[in-house]
Chain A
């Protein structure tokens, strides 16, 4: 969708000028807010701007194309009904949307009794070196900072954090997946989170 439709954004490979990212984000916020007012045109714009990103999220979590399509369709119906509750100042629009997609997809996977599709390290970085319009929306300071800090963690810590986030796995499920005692898993992840906290400088 975006690949075909977006004009200048898609052509200009990252790093995008901050003003481009701001403008893109602003456009998305406006589309989302107008969708909250049941504006179908705005909804179509929203779909156009975000469906590739959200489909990527669904596919990543479901690991099954047909299921990802079904889930994506539910995700947009949910967005249509809930957009009015989006608070522009409080959340990044794409994160808000992607969270809905993630939660729906995790629900589907749990209901289907499926295990997580693949170890994240195997696929997460695929095809990710080309900035598309949606990537520009996300490349804000926070994203850059988080990724920089995650890079400082041990591989297994990073892996566990990402798996918890994308696959909705708890400590116990992570421990089972990696066949390590629960206490060991907790200790790994906690140490990772402590380092992350220090690195992000949140206090």
Chain B
């Protein structure tokens, strides 16, 4: 129809935000977009806007009533096995840390694995993320507890005076979501990682230094000091 239009290559308008929001990018291109997401508020806003636009595509999906008993089954399960007892992960933490540390000596720009590993929908596995934190040698392996939504890692964390360390999540193709501030919890530090979107394997976590109390804008305003990808242990 309009093949003649926009045949240029080098100077095309920037549609990376749309490409990212659609999940088209992988490898280095995706890593570049992730970096921009953390560093360029305008890019982040674009991604968010595209995500809202593309959300309109759901309107084109036909509704289909599920079987009537499904609703009852769901409600019966609300307090069921989906809620894991606190402490469940603890015995696994060390072994998973070692495994993850050897697998994942990653830095910011490491793209996430191309595919999520096989998912067992009903039995969540422990999840870990190996952070490289500035000022600390070797990766810090954080564990994510999906039962209470906390991300915790060995402390202490070197936080400059007058700053807070804030956790962010980039889930799928979304904009960075502000999560909690790190605080000490015994010998560890932890942050509240509960969010609008479930933390799935492949979620990118980032830590930025923000004014005390956290970013005032809802997007990272300070330097990103570490990032890591969540994987199943």
Interface residues of A (CB under 8 A from B): 1-4, 40, 43-44, 47-48, 51-53, 55-57, 59-60, 69-74, 76-78, 80-82, 84-87, 91-92, 94-96, 98-100, 102-104, 107-108, 110-111, 124-128, 132, 134-135, 138-140, 142-143, 145-147, 154, 161-162, 164-166, 168-172, 174, 187, 189-191, 193-197, 200, 202
Given contacts A43-B75, A85-B194, 18 further A-B contacts (CB under 8 A): A47-B75, A48-B71, A53-B61, A56-B63, A69-B67, A73-B70, A73-B73, A82-B196, A82-B198, A96-B196, A103-B200, A127-B62, A142-B55, A147-B56, A154-B2, A170-B26, A194-B12, A197-B18
Task: Judge whether B59 and A147 touch: CB under 8 Å.
Answer: yes
Task: Judge whether A94 and B56 touch: CB under 8 Å.
Answer: no
Task: Judge whether B197 and A51 touch: CB under 8 Å.
Answer: no
Q: Contacts A60-B61, A107-B116, A108-B121 given: A51-B66 contact, CB under 8 Å?
A: yes
Q: Which residues of A sit under 8 angstroms from B161, Cβ to Cβ?
A: none
Q: Which residues of B sit under 8 angstroms from A74, Cβ to Cβ?
A: 121-122
The 5 closest A-B pairs by CB, nearest first: A95-B55, A143-B56, A138-B59, A52-B63, A193-B15
Task: Judge whether B53 and A142 touch: CB under 8 Å.
Answer: yes
Return the chain A residue nearest B175 by Cβ. A90
Q: Which residues of B sit under 8 angstroms from A128, Cβ to Cβ?
A: 60-62
Task: Judge whether B19 and A51 touch: CB under 8 Å.
Answer: no
Cα A43 to Cα B71 in complex, Å, equals 10
Determine which of A1, A57, A76, A197 lies in contact with B58 in the assembled complex, contact meaning CB atoms within 8 Å. Answer: A57
Cα A202 to Cα B120 in complex, Å, equals 40
Task: Judge whether A47 and B26 touch: CB under 8 Å.
Answer: no
Chain B, residues 64-96, CB within 8 Å of chain A (1/0): the string is 111110110111011000100000000000000
Q: Which residues of B sit under 8 angstroms from A3, Cβ to Cβ?
A: 65
Q: Which residues of A sit under 8 angstroms from B68, Cβ to Cβ?
A: 1
Q: Which residues of B sit under 8 angstroms from A95, Cβ to Cβ?
A: 52, 55-56, 58
| CB proximity to A under 8 Å, residues B138-176 | 172
List 18 A-B pairs, Cβ < 8 Å.
A2-B63, A40-B78, A44-B71, A47-B75, A69-B70, A73-B77, A76-B74, A81-B198, A85-B194, A85-B195, A99-B55, A111-B120, A124-B61, A134-B63, A146-B57, A154-B2, A169-B24, A193-B18
* Chain A proximity of B88: nearest CB distance (Å): 15
Cα A171 to Cα B15 in complex, Å, equals 14
* Chain B proximity of A123: nearest CB distance (Å): 8
Determine which of A1, A78, A135 lies in contact with B65 in the assembled complex, contact meaning CB atoms within 8 Å. Answer: A1
Q: Contacts A72-B70, A76-B74 given: A126-B22 contact, CB under 8 Å?
A: no
Task: Judge whether A1 and B18 touch: CB under 8 Å.
Answer: no
Determine which of A52, A84, A91, A125 lies in contact with B52 in the assembled complex, contact meaning CB atoms within 8 Å. Answer: A91
Cα A91 to Cα B110 in complex, Å, equals 29
Q: Which residues of A sit under 8 angstroms from B196, Cβ to Cβ?
A: 82, 85-87, 91, 96
Q: Which residues of A sit under 8 angstroms from B13, Cβ to Cβ?
A: 194, 197
Q: Which residues of B sit under 8 angstroms from A107, Cβ to Cβ?
A: 116, 119, 121, 200
Cα A52 to Cα B26 in complex, Å, equals 33
* Chain B proximity of A86: nearest CB distance (Å): 6
Question: Is B107 part of the binding interface, using a Cβ–Cβ cutoff of 8 Å?
Answer: no
Task: Judge whether B75 and A40 touch: CB under 8 Å.
Answer: yes
Task: Judge whether A77 and B77 touch: CB under 8 Å.
Answer: yes
Q: Which residues of A sit under 8 angstroms from B52, Cβ to Cβ?
A: 91-92, 95, 142
* Chain B proximity of A27: nearest CB distance (Å): 17
Q: Contacts A69-B70, A164-B24 given: A56-B62 contact, CB under 8 Å?
A: yes
Task: Judge whether B197 and A99 touch: CB under 8 Å.
Answer: yes
Return the chain A residue nearest B195 by Cβ. A85
Return the chain B residue nearest A172 by Cβ. B26
* Chain B proximity of A146: nearest CB distance (Å): 4
* Chain B proximity of A4: nearest CB distance (Å): 8
Return the chain A residue nearest B21 by Cβ. A165
Task: Judge whether A1 and B66 touch: CB under 8 Å.
Answer: yes
Q: Which residues of B sit under 8 angstroms from A164, Cβ to Cβ?
A: 22-24
Return the chain B residue nearest A168 by Cβ. B23
